[in-house]
Amino acid sequence: MSSSDRRTVLTLLAALPVAACGFVPAYGPNGPAKALMGRVRVDDPGDKRSFDLVARLEERLGRPEAAAYRLAYTVTTTNTALGITQTNAITRYNVTGHVDYTLRSAADDSVLISGTVQNFTSYSASGTVVSTAASERDAYVRLMRLLADEIVTDMIAKSSALANP
């Protein structure tokens, strides 16, 4: 048996346990993510951070045409000094974000999925005032994108009970 034939056989044998457990790709035709794609209306943002979060959620889930679900969220962020020089000058900040979210049915407002995600990012404060401000803005945008991605991943993991359209 040639080397490539052995690899094919080993690949097929390795795939058997996955096929036997009922594995379905999340974005496949009958995957759990299909129930969410283009069907989730995210609550309107109230500030810049929420706007960045909602923009990324809509990028990942699609803008709803016929919303079957409503996603409510609460964003909390903290900005902590991380690097301090001997002269007490702060050179680095850590930005921590925490989002509580709830996915509700648009029909009867019942809670279908809820969860909490958190992450962090950092930025340098050792440059000019302008570069530090730009770094801070960028850090918050990156944090909101990370949190939105975690929300989508968490909802997909918990969405097996949702009915596929």
CATH number at residue 49: 3.30.160.150
**The pLDDT of residue 4 is above 60:** no
Does the residue 21 lie in any domain?
Answer: no
Tell me whether residue 17 is in a domain: no
Residue 135, in any domain of the structure: yes
Q: Is residue 62 part of a domain?
A: yes
CA dihedral 132, 137, 140, 144 (to 10 degrees): -160
State which amino acid sits at residue 132: T
Average pLDDT, rounded, for the chain: 86
Q: What's the predicted TM-score (pTM) here?
A: 0.80
> pLDDT tens digits, residue range 137-158?
999 999 999 999 999 999 998 8
Angle at Cα 66 formed by Cα 64 and Cα 72, nearest 5°? 55
Going by the DSSP 8-state scheme, the letter that residue 159 receives in this structure is G
Q: Are 18 and 42 in contact (CB under 8 A)?
A: no
Residue 15, in any domain of the structure: no
Q: Does 15 or 77 have the greater pLDDT score?
A: 77
Q: How many domains does the chain have?
A: 1
Mean pLDDT value of segment 103-129:
93
Report the relative pairing of strands 111-124 and 90-105 from DSSP bridges: antiparallel
In-domain check, residue 10: no
Q: How would residue 84 be classed by pLDDT, with cut points 50, 70 and 90?
A: confident
Q: Is residue 16 part of a domain?
A: no
List the domain range (segments joined by +) for residue 81. 26-161
pLDDT digits (tens, 9 = 90+) for 31-55: 767 888 889 999 999 999 999 999 9
Is 82 a member of any domain? yes
Look-up of token digits 């990324």: 56
Q: Which of 161, 137, 154 is nearest to 73 (CA)?
A: 154
